[in-house]
Amino acid sequence: MDEKIGEAQKKLDWAIMNVNGTIKCKIDSYENATYQVLCYGKKKDLMDGAVISVPEEWIEDTHPEENHIRNELKSLLRHLEKKQQEGVI
C-alpha cells in the first residue's frame, strides 16, 4: 500500500508543479479506490476544509512521462489554487 501511495504522490506533485501551483498536497490514505488528500497553503498550514477525496483514476490516469494530467485532476488543482489566492481556503 505504501508503494501505491508513494507513486500516486509523485504524480500528484508533478501535476501541481505543472499547473504552476503553490499549494502542497499530501496523500494521507487510500481506501475504496479513493485517495484522501490533505492540502496546504503557502504558509504550510492545512487549508480550511481542504481534506479532499480524489478518485483513483484521476491520479492513475495522469502520466508525467507523457506530459499528461487527467483533466479532472487539473481542474481540481486549479480550483484549489484559485480559492487559496482568494483567501477562501
Whether pLDDT at 42 is above 70? no
**Percentage of the chain lying above the pLDDT 90 cut:** 62
Find the range with the poorest average confidence among 35-39, 44-48, 56-60: 44-48
Domain count, the chain: 1
Domain that holds residue 20: 2-86
Report the pLDDT value the prediction gives residue 49, as an integer from 0 to 100.
Answer: 58
Number of residues assigned to the chain: 89
Q: What are phi and psi of 8, to 5 degrees?
A: -65, -40
Q: Using CA atoms, how far apart are residues 84 and 22, in angstroms rounded to an integer? A: 9
Report the pLDDT value the prediction gives residue 29, as an integer from 0 to 100.
Answer: 95
pTM, two decimals, is: 0.86
